Amino acid sequence: MSLTIERDGPVTTFIRDRREARNAMDPESADALTQAFLDFDADPGQSVAVLYGAGGAFCAGFDLKSRRRPARQAGPARRSGVSRKARAPCRAGRWGRRGCNCPSR
């Protein structure tokens, strides 16, 4: 797990440790951190929370690699349900559906 919890009296320290990703947040880490803070909030003996990032980085943001889509299966290429025949350039040179209402029409 990428989250370590240390308690010292009324102080709880949450240490994020995903050094390989500069502590970037992925869905699993976000769920773990959310649950840890809910547990902290429910404990009347805890009054101070410290969030710390190990390895020299607090948090690099959201880990975009965790949201990669699986490779598409082979098949005909379609964009938003518009077939190639229905797409044509307007006078402004923009590609879109037929009946474009751009100012150049």
Q: Average pLDDT over the chain, rounded to whole?
A: 79
What is the predicted pLDDT for the residue at 64?
Answer: 87
Strand order in the sheet with 11-16: 3-8, 11-16, 48-53
Model pTM greater than 0.95?
no
pLDDT tens by residue, the chain, 105 residues: 589 999 999 999 999 999 888 999 999 999 999 999 999 999 999 999 999 999 988 998 888 888 876 655 555 555 555 555 555 566 656 665 555 666 554
Query: How are the residues of the chain apportioned to helix, strand and coil, as percentages rounded to the nearest 5?
Result: 30, 25, 45
